[in-house]
Amino acid sequence: MKIKVSEEVKQALKNGNAVVALESTIISHGMPYPKNVETALLVEKTVRENGAVPATIAIIKGIPTIGCSRDEIEHLGKAGLSVTKTSRRDIPVVVSKGLDGATTVAATMIFAAMAGVKIFATGGIGGVHRGAETTFDISADLEELARTDVNVICAGAKSILDLGLTLEYLETKGVEVIGYGTDELPAFFTRKSGFKVNDRMDTPLEIAKAIKCKDDMNLGGGTLIVNPIPEQYSMDADYIESVIEKAIGEANEKGIKGKEITPFLLDKIQRITGGQSLESNIKLVLNNAALASKIAVELANL
């Protein structure tokens, strides 16, 4: 399969410099235009300011693209929900039909691995959905973390999920979950969840050393690094939980399932909170991009 790697990313990888992969679902499905494009460009700027090269990943007219141009990001933002939300299962169809695809965490990991990018920053990963014991609704992101050698920095699993079962699933799959400066799994919009992570590390260098050790031992799979949203942007846990329950109730009433559920819930939560959740989302993504860049720089120096 043909993939397109931007010259900037190609040169950085060739020279052994730090590169950070970025997903594109957040552009087309995560936020309204033009906020989505503004945020994507600000995330890229944050990566550069912290010493790494950004590689926004998407499928453009059937071609997996590692390092989207400003025009391509603008296109994805304007096209919005008409762009196919693309996970592992969707890739062959999107590519063979020559479509545009906004890559989820799973698909972004796949293409990052193809290009040789080890570090990936996102907002929050997918996970085990509430009620999965009857619906079996479990995100492909978790399987990808178990099989694909890319290390993901996020603000925990999205708080619309069952966080306890998500951690259990990751443990079963042998995925190391490292808390950056925390012993607890962050809950995306809030810093705490009540669930403990495997290990706590307090510096990007510590994390980079653990990643290198995993690679040197050929253990395969990814590492999940969870980075709490900055305190000043964290939302009240009880309030956001009540909002989530209301949004889930509406989704159930409307029969919304599968890959449509997460965009629906995030949009509904944004509307109920009067945009507060969107601003928190943006701040946590920028925070993750900064940490990912620092880890990538340390890894490149080892």
Q: In this predicted model, what pLDDT tens digit does every residue of 4-25 receive, in sequence order?
A: 999 999 999 999 999 999 999 9
20 vs 54: CA distance, rounded Å: 5
How does pLDDT run across 259-269, given as a tens digit for each residue?
677 778 777 78
Cβ atoms 66, 3 nearer than 8 A: yes
CATH number reported for the structural domain that contains residue 81 in this entry: 3.40.1790.10
Per-residue model confidence (pLDDT) at position 33: 94
SS (H, E, C) the chain: CCCEECHHHHHHHHCCCCEEEECCHHHHHHCCCCHHHHHHHHHHHHHHHCCCEEEEEEEECCEEEECCCHHHHHHHHHHHHHCEEECHHHHHHHHHCCCCEEECHHHHHHHHHHHCCCEEECCCECCEECCHHHHCCECHHHHHHHHCCCEEEECEECCCECHHHHHHHHHHCCCEEEEECCCECCECCECCCCCECCEEECCHHHHHHHHHHHHHCCCCCCEEEECCCCHHHCCCHHHHHHHHHHHHHHHHHHCCCHHHHHHHHHHHHHHHCCCHHHHHHHHHHHHHHHHHHHHHHHHHHC
128 vs 133: CA distance, rounded Å: 9
Q: Spell out the residues 6+ positions from residue 149 whose beta carbon is closer than 8 angstroms to its own.
A: 113, 118, 215, 220, 221, 222
Cβ atoms 126, 161 nearer than 8 A: yes
Place of tokens 């969840």: 193
Residue ranges for the chain with pLDDT beneath 50: none
235 vs 228: CA distance, rounded Å: 12
Per-residue model confidence (pLDDT) at position 259: 67
296 vs 298: CA distance, rounded Å: 5
Cis peptide before 64 (omega within 30 of 0): no
Per-residue model confidence (pLDDT) at position 122: 97
Per-residue model confidence (pLDDT) at position 23: 98
Which residues are registered as beta bridge partners of 128?
138
How many structural domains compose the chain?
Answer: 1
List the domain range (segments joined by +) for residue 126.
Answer: 4-301
What residue type is 54 in one-letter code? P
What are the residue numbers of the active site?
A: 23, 158
